[in-house]
Amino acid sequence: MGNGRTLGVGLIGLGVVGTGVVQLIQKNREDFKKFRGVDLDLRRVAVRDPGKPREVDLPTGAFTTAEALVEDPDVDIVVEVMGGVDAATDLCCRALKSGKDLVTANKAMMAERGDEVFSAAAAGGASVGFEASVCGGIPILQALRDGLVANQVESLYGILNGTTNYILTRMTDEGGSFDEMLQEAQDAGYAEADPAMDIDGTDAAQKLSLLCRIAFRRRLDPEHISKEGIEGISPVDIDFARELGYTIKLLGIARPLGDSIEARVHPALVPLDSQLANIKHEFNAVEVVGSAAGPQVFTGRGAGRLPTASAIVADLVDVAQRRLAGRGESADLARLPEAAPASPDSVKISAYCRFTVFDTPGVLAQIACIFADHNIGIAKVIQHGRSESEGDTVTLIMTTHEARESDMKRAVHVIGQLPVVQHEPKVIRIEEL
Ligand code: NAP
Ligand code: HSE
């Protein structure tokens, strides 16, 4: 290979991910020239505050504004790692329409405004790489798009958010407090600028929507993904889950059901001996069931500087090679049919239920009756001692057999109204995997 054709790179954002991108370009530039035939020349960098100290050395005069960067004729490929939706979409679409390629880690933008981004790319004959927006360093989009091209994807599920997996792991293994573990995840650079996006399942739902786009070739608005976060998971649930032989993980699950897609993000009890139970800290994992290849598990670091930058730089090399070969984005990804969300009546779940009840005779029978009235069978019951929890109440744990999700919701609502039941019941799905 020769010295590689030189392409100008413009970077918008020099925070956790942007800094890693600079480090990896600088470290690998010579190898890319020699072995990939591309010379990635970082020419412009846009930040909010150019006066802030930075961890990397940049070419003199590199700093500019994002608006100037997307208009700059010396920039061939824009890397967007500033985050946010509206301003980022506007900048990225302007760059793409003028023929610049785009590499981004911004799942919020790609999940919510992806159609506009792909249309702008098709209009400008440019390419979009967004591998880093789903599961950090794991090349899952490439695997779905290329490696599994001969398969219909029958289902996919996994751990799609590093911050919540970090918090749950540390709470489970070391008894850490939720707030302290969240602070650690933020300090490590895993969390979103607004960590509520991680905690309430929004980030995982955005990633699941992008996975559905590539795996099922359908658009599924993240708003149509049923979503629950880890806010309500208490150490009590973690302890009872362990006693039952499970651990708690935040999962994203999607499978086609006829013309619709069942897609949901929620905490779930998973068996202690399952592969997902052993995915710890900021690691993510996705199991994909392909019609020809069968089940495959992809795992690796889902958040953090270098893992995310690794996916960005892989996309950079890929779009650079596409540019040199004269291949841009087709409009296919913008024109995918919309998938309807699956109706709750078609979704079946089994569940762990925690009730705080007055310690009086007949409580168990009342609850069991309501479950039976809704066609829900009880699998296991745990109650330790008498009146241990608070005042004259006890904690009652029940797990159920599989039942319609809609029946489960109605039954738990009715149980929650019983005079013997204190507090809102806590329900967590069980996924046997
Ligand atoms: P970050 O550390 O907060 O960095 C954001 C960067 O963007 C900062 O350098 C900031 O400038 C710059 N910026 C913000 N608004 C700007 C504007 N209007 N014009 C120019 N620059 C602007 O965020 P991050 O963690 O690197 O995340 C960036 C993106 O990557 C997000 O979309 C996120 O969802 C995604 N992502 C992150 C991870 C991760 O592990 N962190 C993993 C996958 C994907 P200043 O430095 O001057 O403040
Ligand atoms: N906040 C995200 C996470 C970053 O914790 O998974 C990676 O997308």
pLDDT tens per residue, range 94-132? 999 999 999 999 999 999 999 999 999 999 999 999 999
The model's pTM: 0.96
Q: What is the pLDDT of residues 295-327, one digit of tens each?
A: 999 999 999 999 999 999 999 999 999 999 988
In the chain, what percentage of residues exceed pLDDT 70?
A: 97
Mutation pick for ligand 1 pocket among 19, 48, 141, 160 (CB with most ligand atoms within 8 Å): 48
What pLDDT does 344 receive?
74
What pLDDT does residue 390 have? 52
Nearest-Å Rg of the Cα atoms of the chain is: 24
User: Tokens 């590199």 identify what position?
Assistant: 62
Q: How many helices (DSSP H) and strands (DSSP E) are in the chain?
A: 13, 18
pLDDT tens figures, 160-184: 999 999 999 999 999 999 999 999 9
Alpha-carbon gap, residue 261 to 265, rounded angstroms:
13
Tokens of 195: 């960590």
- Ligand 1 centroid – CA 83 distance (Å): 5
Pocket test for ligand 1, best of 11, 45, 47 (most atoms within 8 A of CB): 47
In the beta sheet, which residues pair with residue 427? 353
Query: Using CA positions, which residue lies closest to atom 36 of ligand 1?
Result: 105
Q: Which among 125, 127, 27 has a CA at the least distance from the CA of 79?
A: 127
Cα of 156 from ligand 1 centre, angstroms: 28
Mean pLDDT taken over the chain: 95
Mean pLDDT of 148-167: 98
Q: Which ligand is nearest to the CA of 191?
A: 2
For residue 138, what pLDDT band results from cuts at 50, 70 and 90? very high
* CA of 366 relative to ligand 2 center, distance in Å: 43
Position 331 scores a pLDDT of: 63
Which pLDDT band, with edges at 50, 70 and 90, does 193 fall under? Answer: very high
* 54-72: pLDDT as tens digits: 999 998 899 999 999 999 9
Tokens coding 207: 């990633």
Q: State the Cα–Cα distance between residues 294 and 194, nearest whole angstrom.
A: 37
Q: Where are the alpha helices (DSSP H) in 149-234?
A: 162-174, 178-187, 196-199, 202-215
Q: Which amino acid is at 137?
A: G
* Rounded Cα distance, 403 and 353, in Å: 13
Residue 381 CA to ligand 2 centre (angstroms):
36
Instruction: Determine which of 69-73, 81-85, 249-253, 325-329 has the lowest per-residue pLDDT on average.
Output: 325-329
Which tokens in the block code for residue 305?
Answer: 């500087």
Which ligand 2 atom is at minimum distance from the Cα of 195?
1
Q: Give me the catalytic one of 100, 107, 207, 249.
A: 207
Q: Is the pLDDT reported for residue 40 higher than 70? A: yes
Q: Look at residue 391 in the predicted model and tell me its pLDDT.
A: 58
Q: Where residue 333 falls among pLDDT bands split at 50, 70, 90?
A: confident
Annotation says 207 is catalytic = yes
The pLDDT of residue 334:
77
Nearest of 142, 100, 148, 110 to residue 314 by alpha carbon: 142
The pLDDT score that the predictor gives to residue 1 is: 45
**DSSP state, 277?**
G
Gap between the Cα atoms of 158 and 287, Å rounded = 6
**What is the pLDDT confidence band of residue 372, given thresholds at 50, 70 and 90?**
very high
